[in-house]
Structure 1
């Protein structure tokens, strides 16, 4: 504890930490309860350890993760290149899963959501009611949509590869010697460094890729070439027909979810219901099938589902009822269910 007190003293005096400090800190944080204790210490000295540069961090936890990340980077620079799986787990655990708290459903996402799947394979799973910010070992970062996951192995010398189930936005660190490949059940996306969104939800009839900047190559699951995308273009894959097309896409429509915005533009009520189910973690039933193809346009941010439904009643010929969750035998609850009906 004396060595930790010295580290805190350095932070209070705005002195840089050295490699030996980081080693002490990493060893200390490996023991149960020490992470919470160190955060508590940072909080009690917040006004002293937070210099002008760190004011943008806003909270003691933010400074903790910044220090922890620097410690891991120091460890990486001073150790051999052959790294064990646990080394990768420690790195990913420290790479700051900081969900953006825009909606009440968004919550803190910690390293406990990282699971060891098999030898040298890791998984990041986003909860059903939370969007998650992620950072990968190669410097790539992005957002993982609610109830989505990515799996990845240790980076080799040839390529960087992740498997996506659901939806994610990637800001890929450029490396011309190591292409970055996102694999889904329907296609692959191959890039060197760029920003793009992939929607590959198993429950959707069409999977999509939207390119914000740079360029990407679209491949089949057997690596056959499909097409190259330019910025502003979207790739659509029809799962039933096994066919793809390329259109001009709208940036806001594809990227809005990373900012806590649900954008419904020229969507049918059925499509909108699916989007709302994911956004609010609820179940929606359209009782009158003739309503399913009714067009919807809406931009939703910071509204509760009850407010959204009340607004929908004002502009659409619908009414709704909300069924309370039911307690199941195992003690869990069903989702809140919304039933939408036509106004008589």
Structure 2
């Protein structure tokens, strides 16, 4: 909802009391048409106006203190008919002017909800946008969207955002802001093992930090570099979405990159004891295979062994052959 201060108390009062000119009524109706929330706000004021005689706040309203000169601001034809008219006017203006009362009596912001994925899962937001959350990802969002669609995110997820040019979709994550109208992309926030990264699949997004802003087109990737500056490049990693699709494809890929992609797909981290093994290459495809099956294949191909220690896997030996 736009701030009630965007429209004058005088104009609101004239509109509610049916004393507005045609031009003033047109301006008020245009403000109400700006958003559904504006229209709802005025309807609530109308209800207050029509029931004001029984509203307990009237007893505590001092016309001179809370709306000095109000009688001079509205057509005097109402003034001589009813003293209660001005007490009602003062009550309404007092409520509109006092922001804490306006919020408590007339408007309640949508409740903020939060979800943390225990396993990979699809989640549908109030606007119909679908977010595939990777295990451990956290998404905070309002119970319903208003002028904008803003969420807060941490972890990794694939966003498929419903198009709505009138209500941009905004993601706050790691002191960054991603603004989209309707698109799909993979977003990963920074962890102790990986950096922040966004890969755009379809559509167009605006990505910004407090100091920089870039616009991405499909196939592009943006990440935070070691110096904290944004780095926009073409995405060359075909496995960036493997955690979601379950498919890993390698073509003459260095083992250092192989272990990084497998680690991201299965939420593990590899540590290689043999530095020379990192330069060996692999050409292979894995579809919907579990981690143990992939590691068994690599043991045979490269004469290596794996030792699991919680979420870290030590890689011993390994030769290119």
Of 223, 231, 243 in structure 2, the residue corresponding to residue 257 of structure 1 is 243
**3-state SS of the aligned residue for 1:157?**
coil
User: What secondary structure, in the 3-state scheme, does the structure 1 residue paired with 2:158 have?
Assistant: strand
Structure 2 gap segments, 5+ residues each: 1-39, 42-109
Quick one: structure 1 residues 268 and 158, their matched pair in 2 at CA, closer, same or farther if it must change by over 3 Å? Answer: farther
Residue 196 in 1 paired to residue 168 in 2?
A: no
Q: Does 1:230 align with 2:217?
A: yes
Q: Distance in 2 between matches of 1:272 and 1:197?
A: 19
Q: Distance in 1 between matches of 2:233 and 2:264?
A: 25
Task: State the TM-score, normalized to the length of structure 2.
Answer: 0.56
Partner of 1:123: 114
Take 2:237 and 2:278, find their aligned partners in 1: how far apart are those partners?
26
Aligned counterpart for 1:319 among listed residues 304, 308, 321: 304
- In the other structure, the counterpart of 1:157 is 146
Aligned residues: 212
Superposed, which structure 2 residues align to 1:90-109 within 5 Å?
Answer: none
Provide the secondary structure at the position in 2 that maps to 1:258.
helix
CA distance in 1, matches of 2:174, 2:153: 8
Query: What's the counterpart of residue 170 of structure 1?
Result: 159
- Find the counterpart in structure 2 of residue 299 from structure 1: 285
Structure 1 pair 251/196, CA: closer, same or farther in 2 (3 Å)? farther
Q: Secondary structure at the match of 1:182?
A: strand
Say if 1:296 and 1:146 are closer, same or farther in 2 by CA, change over 3 A: farther
List per-residue Cα deviations over 1:185-227 (Å, max 9, x = no partner).
152210111111112241344322121221111111x3x5511
Larger Rg: 2
Task: Mark the CA change 1:282 to 1:253 in structure 2 (over 3 Å): closer, same or farther.
Answer: closer
SS in 2 for 1:339: strand
Distance change (3 Å), C-alpha of 1:204 and 1:141: same
In structure 2, the CA distance between the partners of 1:123 and 1:289, relative to structure 1 (3 Å rule), is farther
Structure 1: tracts of 5 or more residues without a match: 1-80, 83-118, 324-333
In the superposition, relative to structure 1, how do residues 296 and 246 fare at CA in structure 2: closer, same or farther (>3 Å)? farther
Using a 3 Å threshold, how does the CA distance of structure 1 residues 267 and 242 change in structure 2: closer, same or farther? farther
Name the residue aligned to 1:88.
none
SS of the residue aligned with 1:235?
strand
SS of aligned partner of 1:202: coil
SS in 2 for 1:206: coil
Distance 1:126 1:340, change over 3 A: same
Structure 1 length normalisation: TM-score? 0.53
Q: Answer yes or no: is the 8 Å Cα contact 2:272–2:278 preserved in 1.
A: yes
Which residue of 2 is the match for residue 215 of structure 1?
204
Provide, for residues 20-48 of structure 1, a one-character-per-residue CA deviation record: whole Å limited to 9, x for no partner: xxxxxxxxxxxxxxxxxxxxxxxxxxxxx
Alpha-carbon distance, 1:250 to partner: 5.1
Match of 2:125 among 136, 153, 162: 136
Task: Report the CA distance between 1:168 and its aligned residue.
Answer: 0.9
RMSD: 3.1
